[in-house]
Structure 1
Amino acid sequence: MSSPREHKRHHPVVEAHRLKRASDIQLRVADAITQFAGSMMFVYIHAVGFAVWTLFIEKSPWPTLTLVVSLEAIFLSTFVMIGQNRAAAFQQAKADHDFVESELELKTNTELTRAIHAMTTELHSRLAPGRIGQ
């Protein structure tokens, strides 16, 4: 069983992505807004806010409310696109890393297979001379 102090290992691209996001204040703000906008608390606050607005604040709330909701939709859609671009860049970096690692593994396995074949051939020629190819 692992102790709570042990650091969970992540894919190198995940760790690089996390460090990049943590070092940039703009990205941290965008992440916080996106996280909040995707929560039920966001929905509850808006439901209460819109109800209070339409019932108690303005006699004719629709023109102003429509403007506010439209502006909010513009900004939220921008944050969604930022998130999609970030996710696409992350997936590309991870795919690139995985490709390089798999190519290295394939090269290593090929070299090992050749070495095993050479050793097996040498061993066979020493233990059973004259039998190769019969």
Structure 2
Amino acid sequence: MQRNSIETESPTTKAADGLTPALARNIDAVMQRRRETADAASLQERAAAAISRFAGSMPFVYIHLVLYGTWIVANLNWLPGVRPWDPSLVILAMEASVEAIFLSTFVLINQNRMAAEDDTRADLDLQVSLLNEHETTRLIAMVEAIAKRLDVPIEAGEELSELKEDVAPEAVLDRIESEETR
């Protein structure tokens, strides 16, 4: 028996990295979307993200330890030859407060952007779940029809009837909201 020179790849074939081709395509699509989203970010959003990333790093902590430590030591008159310029440390406190205001603003801007991305992902998850539920409902109906045609007894009864019904997302959301207001 002669084999074709063109072999078809089955859906369960694994790539060299252990992923199926469909899974690898999905990962590539997600990563491409993330790159596109990052590229579409405004200059202000990118700046806020960069500042938030740096502010949440250990180098940021070390820099502040050195700067604030030096400021405090110098203004407590512990460094010979350095005259205190802020002996009550009021200027340092004011600077730290202003810095905290700006840093918290940058973090909030970054969190808002991330929340918007999370909302988009949640919408996608919901759409995929609803499509999956719809397909599963149709498959249950098809399997039931095949079983009836082949005279295979079905013992699921009332549960099967429930599974064959499509889920109404609006009804689910309404129920959740009404339960939350109790």
TM range (shorter): 0.7 to 0.9
1:115 to 142, 161, 178: 142
Higher helix share: 1
Ranked by relative contact order (alpha carbons within 8 Å, sequence separation 6 or more), the top structure is 1
Alignment root-mean-square deviation, CA: 2.9
What is the aligned residue count? Answer: 122
Provide the rounded CA distance (Å) in 2 between the counterparts of 1:2 and 1:115. 36
Q: Deviations over 1:22-45 (max 9, x none)?
A: 332322221111111001110111
Q: Which deviates more from structure 2 when the two are superposed, residues 58-67 or residues 114-123? A: 58-67
Q: 1:11 to 1:70 in 2, by over 3 A?
A: farther
The two structures have a TM-score, normalised by structure 2, of 0.56
1:63 to 80, 90, 94: 90
Which residues in structure 2 correspond to 1:1-134 (within 5 Å)? Answer: 1-2=16-17, 9=27, 12=30, 16-24=33-41, 25-54=43-72, 55=74, 56=82, 58-60=84-86, 62-124=89-151
Q: Deviations over 1:47-103 (max 9, x none)?
A: 111223331474325232122111100001102212322232222222211111111
% identity of equivalent residues: 37
Q: Which deviates more from structure 2 when the two are superposed, residues 57-66 or residues 35-44? A: 57-66
Note the residue ranges of structure 1 that are not aligned, 5 or more in a row.
126-134
Give the secondary structure class of the aligned counterpart of 2:151: helix
The two structures have a TM-score, normalised by structure 1, of 0.73
Note the residue ranges of structure 2 that are not aligned, 5 or more in a row.
1-15, 19-23, 75-81, 153-182
- Once superposed, which parts of structure 1, at least 4 consecutive aligned residues long, lie more than 4 Å away? none
